[in-house]
Amino acid sequence: MTQSDLPKGVHRVRRKLASGKSRFHFYAWRGGPKFWEDDHRKPSDTAFYQAFAEATARPQSPDYMVTQLVDDFLSSTAMPKGERSRADIRKWGLRFAEHFKDAPAVIFEDRRSRGEMNAWRALWKHSPKQHDMAGTHAVRILNWGMEEGKLSEHHCHKLRRLYEVDRSEIVWTPADREAFNAVAPEWVRRILCVACETGLRPADLIKLTPAHVEQTPRGRRLRVRTNKRKRLAHIPITPALAEVIDTTPPGRLLILANASGHALTPHRASEGVRQWRDKAKLSDELRLYDARGTAATRLLNVGLSLAEIANHMGWSIRYAANVIEHYARVSPDETDAVLVKLAQAKGGAS
């Protein structure tokens, strides 16, 4: 559809309403702020042109600094809802603001700013994951600045990433768990066991209570609303998981606790597993999060479809299949049965 009948730069999008009619949305530029809605593809209202002029006029002076841009973002509704996500973006946003504190936000409209961004990210080149996180969060703020009309453009899209590890091949094998359980105290063994049987993230593991247990016609399951995606997960209770639940001391509100019986934090749960992983002389790549690969295999074995497992884990179906396939290969006692079920699950998901 030609847009030559509109002021130069206007981006028009037609959207269908539930009634079947169309409504047109007008943006100051492609990716820019929306300034008008109308039933007509070419509005005749003079207010349309006034709104366009206001949207394209720079809303901030050259004195609008990077620190102000970051502050505006951090106090906006664009901030994520999750506590962990909010903390991460606040940490990196403040680092971004501190580094560019003497610069006006408009420097990112200059192509040379990409080099400045890469130089800042390089402060963490010793840690590829942090290097990439710095860029991810800074670009998120710049994108928001464009959407809100505070910047007309920026040149930091698709920054080169250093962190490329594929964690689908990092799983807790039966041998790993056996070595871990041989040295770890009971409270840490319980954490790893529940993680391997449920696939829940640390933030969800530490909140599990007996109240999450439901009776089913064939046994029991956990009914949990996950912290990150706010979705209900229904997790079959395996014999190993049942043992942990049933041996929770009477009167204790939480299924998992620290050595003193007190509540855990996600960090302490992960750190406890890391400390005893090192004492068991296991790979330093193994983390509590990697127990989710073991759980995915368990869930396949108790009858969940590949799509259900992927949805429960927050993964793509392809990633879930890769995790399960790798687990089967490194767990000889389960290889044949798991690979047969995986082949059947893949067939059902295609």
Q: What is the pLDDT of residue 296?
A: 83
Which amino acid appears at position 91 of this protein? Answer: K
Q: What is the pLDDT of residue 332?
A: 57
Q: What is the pLDDT of residue 244?
A: 97
Q: How far apart are CA 199 and CA 310, in angstroms?
A: 11
Strands (E), 188-347: 213-216, 219-225, 232-236
Name the burial class of residue 348, with classes exposed (0-12), middle (13-18) and buried (19+) by CB atoms within 10 angstroms of its CB: exposed
- C-alpha 67: how far from its chain's center? 26
Tell me the domain boundaries of the chain.
11-56, 66-147, 167-349
Pick the closest to residue 309 from 335, 333, 341 (CA basis).
Answer: 341
Distances (CA, A) of 333 to 15, 106, 174, 225, 269: 55, 60, 9, 33, 29
CB contact set of 144 (below 8 Å; sequence gap of 6+):
73, 76, 78
Q: What is the DSSP string of 210-255?
A: GGGEEEETTEEEEEEE-TTT--EEEEE--HHHHHHHHTSPTT-S-S
Q: What is the pLDDT of residue 53?
A: 84
Q: What is the pLDDT of residue 331?
A: 61
Pick the closest to residue 198 from 323, 299, 302 (CA basis).
Answer: 299
Strands (E), the chain: 11-16, 22-27, 34-38, 213-216, 219-225, 232-236
Which residue carries 């933030």 as its tokens?
203
Q: What is the pLDDT of residue 182?
A: 97
Superfamily of domain 167-349: Intergrase catalytic core (1.10.443.10)
Mean pLDDT of successive 10-residue stretches along the chain, which has 350 residues? 69 83 83 81 88 71 84 91 86 96 90 94 93 96 91 91 72 89 97 92 94 90 83 83 94 94 94 96 90 80 78 78 74 57 64
Helix, coil or strand: residue 138: helix
